[in-house]
A and B are shown apart, each in its own frame.
Chain A
Amino acid sequence: MDPLYYGIALVISVLAAGYLITRWRVPASHPARGEILLRIRTWCWIIAFFVPILVTPQPLPSVLLAIVSFMAFKEFITLTPNRQQDRWAFLWAYVAIPLQYFWVVQAWYGMFIIFIPVYLFLLLPTRLVLSGHPKGFLNSTSTLHWGLMTTVFSLSHMAYLLVLPDYQLDGRIITGASLLFLLVFLTQMNDVAQFVWGKTFGKRKILPLVSPNKTWEGFLGGAVTTLLVSLLLTPLFTPLDLSRAALVGLEIGIFGFVGDVVMSAVKRDIGVKDTGTLLPGHGGILDRLDSLTFTAPLYFHTLYYFYY
């Protein structure tokens, strides 16, 4: 049977166990209890949204992921200060979201990979300059394009994994869905592992001005955990061998952390704690996706370079 279904079953059991243990074993007086239960409940919603992405045929997964990008981009431009005269450029940027996922459904790799980095990169400043206000121009172009690159271009690599052709390996068929599952599983697990290592052993601050709660112990402990889990799971879910599994593990361990602190830097620059309120207990959708904005393209291109 496809390891994907074991993977989904594993995640659901871990969550259920976590919920039941917190519910019955943690005393009601514990300060973090309510917060943890809320978080797990939100995790259930995230999984309920994510499982159809893995198991349904195209174009539904791309539509669902386009909605994720839409929400993430909306959250990003809600946070960042913007000028009234930029509204048409915003609309153009929004139009780019369904188009980007349309290229994915078409499996048109050439267009998918240059549409935002090249065409939108030229189109957005074109529209912005037409409104004729130079004050704050550089701010507007860079925020808008950076927002599109992270929330739409990067995240759409998740969708492109799904349209990669099936890969035959020793009689096994490796589908795009199992590639995507592994990426999301390792990235989210890395987030949790870094958090847990940091909470348990954290002493030396790593980037105190950007994210005061992050420590070297959390980062290294989490990254090593991710490396080990990657060595175990990557050969099962992808065509990659052990040495490349190590590469994927390191990429996700290190750049998952980088994605996280980059978004923290953005939040701190603007002066907010969470990017939004969409996911109770977690904050906004960007608070959950920050690591993926870095790991998704890296993981995709590692696979693409070696195998597709």
Chain B
Amino acid sequence: MYALCRWLFVTLLAWPLVLLWLGLTVRHRQRLPRQGPAILIANHNSHLDLLVLLTLLPLSRIPQVRPVAAADYFFRNRSLRFIAVWFLGLIPVVRGKTPRRDRSDPATTSEMPGENSDPLAGCRQALAKGEIIILFPEGTRGEPEVLSRLKPGLWHLLKNQPEIPVIPIYLQGLGKSMPKGEWIPIPFFVDAYVGRPLPYDSDKGRYLQTLENCFALLATKGATRLRRTSAGDEG
């Protein structure tokens, strides 16, 4: 039932929206992992980002693909939580130091990590089960088409299991199509650039810097791929 919901979401919403309404160009698709455990990370500008990432993976893998999302946003009420759990397979992560939680609702406490426990426990469990998790290290969608500072959660997650491959993906154009606060996606062609797996670094600051550089590099690669005027054009 859960797998069916995930498939329905991807085939009836993500595919038509991303492939027909928007139109997606993927560079280096072969760099995507075929098996879990693996972590896909991407820059975050729009709710559409998640839909794009879901179309990158084969349908048979979809039930084992778990996006990581802010508990205070996607788990804020019953109907959203239902969609988040059944259709998106989201792993809730509490943002910031003081989590906002609805104590009167027992379901919240059972699904969400407690205040003193590891906020990344859900992610660790998923990786232990060999699932592929999707993470947006910026933590929030922020300004359209601008990369914000990266959050250290990913590094903490990798600390105990540095062998898990981390694949960076740079998404371009989605903030233009449906920025934060908007609900109608405007058709634009969008791009996804898959980078090489990122090696772990035991130094947190250095690791996050490498990550940031990696996104910046993928972004410029995307720009140069389009801007090849010197090559000339034909009839």
A198 touches B188 (CB 8 A): no
**For the complex of A and B, 5 pairs with smallest distance between CB atoms:** A195-B235, A273-B228, A78-B189, A74-B187, A277-B25
The chain B residue with its CB closest to the CB of A89 is B186
> Distance in Å from the Cβ of B180 to the closest Cβ of chain A?
11
The contact string, 1 if C-beta is below 8 Å from chain A, for chain B 152-186, is 00000000000000000000010010010010101
- B188, B189, B233, B235 interface centre (most CB from chain A within 10 Å): B235
Question: Which residue of B182, B226, B227, B233 contacts A87 across the interface (Cβ within 8 Å)?
Answer: B182
A245–B130 alpha-carbon span in the complex (Å): 68
Within the complex, what minimum Cβ distance (angstroms) separates A263 from chain B? 10
Q: Collect the chain A residues with CB atoms within 8 Å of residue B179's CB.
A: 84
Q: Check B229–A273 contact: CB distance below 8 A.
A: yes
Among candidates A75, A211, A276, residue contacting B233 with C-beta atoms closer than 8 Å: A211
Q: Give the A-B pair count, Cβ closer than 8 A.
A: 61
Establish whether residues B227 and A272, one from each chain, have CB atoms under 8 Å apart when the complex forms: yes
Q: Which residues from chain B sit less than 8 Å from chain A, CB to CB? A: 23, 25, 144, 173, 176, 179, 182, 184, 186-189, 226-229, 231-235
Q: How far is the CA of A259 from the CA of B139 in the complex (A)?
A: 46
Selected contact of A74 from candidates B25, B189, B227, CB within 8 Å: B189
A-B contact pairs, 5 of them (CB 8 A): A91-B184, A267-B229, A272-B228, A273-B227, A273-B229
CB pair B186–A78 under 8 Å, yes or no, is: no
Check A191 against B229 for contact (C-beta < 8 Å): no
Give the size range of A's interface with the partner: 20 to 34
A268 at the interface (CB under 8 A from B): yes
Q: Is the interface of B mostly helix, strand, loop or mixed?
A: loop
A191–B235 Cα distance when bound, in Å, is: 6
Q: Does A260 interact with chain B (Cβ within 8 Å)? A: yes
Name which residue of chain B comes closest to A290, CB basis.
B235
Could you tell me if A94 and B186 are in contact, using CB atoms closer than 8 angstroms? yes
Which of A7-15, A105-113, A161-169, A212-220 lies at the interface? Answer: A212-220
- Would you call A19 an interface residue if the criterion is a C-beta within 8 Å of the partner chain's C-beta atoms? no
- The interface residues of chain B lying within 8 Å CB-to-CB of A191 are 235
Closest B residue to A197 by beta carbon equals B235
Across the interface, which residues of A come within 8 angstroms of B144, CB to CB?
Answer: 84
Q: Chain A contacts of B189 at CB under 8 A? A: 74-75, 78, 276, 278
Q: Find out whether the CB atom of A278 lies under 8 angstroms from the CB atom of B23.
A: yes
In addition to A222-B235, A273-B229, A278-B23, 10 A-B residue pairs with Cβ atoms within 8 Å of each other are A70-B187, A78-B188, A82-B176, A84-B179, A91-B186, A213-B234, A271-B229, A272-B227, A274-B233, A277-B25
Q: Does A146 contact B (CB under 8 A)?
A: no
